[in-house]
């Protein structure tokens, strides 16, 4: 009888320990799942913010480039006098190299903006290997925005300088912006490389 009571007592104790151990294991698994979901949500929020800013920049530059294409610097000829056709840009006839620099850089800026806007459409990414494609597309869009802004800067320089003093100011501004761009690119590359090294450890 004593052996039977001891056996029943030990079985009850073992069962109660097993019941208590299961919720602890489940709680740890639930915590891990919650932590993973939280990390995924934070990563998704960062991606969404980056896409939002890229879309904003793309639309802004596309609008500016479109307007500059419709009304080029210096205006357009108003009538068909002296061998000029009405509606043609004045700068095209008076300062052709500057006009061509403006035209091509403005066109590059406009097209790069449109490419970024199209790439930001959610249906663009294939469903298979979405993470790889998304990382690749964000990298491409970042470089397109950089090209976009650089071309817009060149278009501004070509279309805005009139005299020597203004040209010097514009060139100084371009070098300042390009210097900032170079420093920013180097620092962001170093940061990304250090984050990849830390995540691999």
The domain ranges of the chain are 56-160
Pick the range with the lowest mean pLDDT from 22-31, 96-105, 132-141: 22-31
Mean pLDDT computed over 36-51: 83
125: helix, strand or coil: coil
Torsion of CA 74, 99, 156, 166, to 10 degrees: -70
Lowest mean pLDDT among 42-51, 118-127, 173-182: 118-127
Look-up: residue for tokens 């990563």? Answer: 43
Distance between CA atoms of residues 92 and 78, nearest Å: 14
Between 125 and 48, the higher pLDDT residue: 48
SS3 state of residue 32: helix
Give the mean pLDDT of the chain: 78
Contact 122, 129 (CB under 8 A): no
CA dihedral 95, 97, 99, 104 (to 10 degrees): 180
Residue 128 has pLDDT above 70, yes or no: no
pLDDT tens-digit series, residues 54-92: 888 888 889 988 998 888 888 888 888 887 888 788 888
Tens of pLDDT along 171-191?
788 888 888 888 988 888 888
Q: How confident is the model at residue 20 (pLDDT cuts 50, 70, 90)?
A: very low
């Amino acid at each position: 009888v004593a052996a039977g009571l001891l056996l029943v007592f030990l079985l009850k104790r073992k069962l109660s320990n097993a019941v208590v151990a299961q919720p602890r294991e489940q709680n740890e698994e639930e915590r891990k799942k919650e932590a993973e979901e939280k990390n995924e949500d934070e990563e998704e929020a960062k991606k969404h913010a980056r896409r939002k800013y890229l879309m904003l920049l793309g639309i802004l530059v596309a609008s500016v480039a479109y307007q500059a294409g419709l009304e080029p610097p210096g205006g357009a000829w108003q009538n068909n006098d002296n061998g000029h056709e009405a509606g043609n840009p004045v700068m095209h006839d008076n300062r052709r190299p500057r006009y061509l620099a403006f035209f091509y850089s403005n066109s590059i800026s406009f097209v790069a903006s449109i490419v970024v806007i199209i790439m930001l459409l959610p249906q663009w990414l294939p469903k298979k290997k979405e993470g790889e494609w998304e990382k690749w597309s964000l990298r491409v869009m970042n470089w397109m925005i950089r090209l976009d802004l650089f071309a817009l800067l060149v278009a501004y320089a070509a279309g805005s300088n009139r005299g020597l003093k203004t040209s010097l100011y514009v060139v100084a501004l371009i070098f300042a912006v390009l210097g900032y761009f170079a420093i920013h690119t180097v620092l962001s590359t170093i940061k990304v490389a250090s984050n990849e090294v830390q995540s691999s450890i």
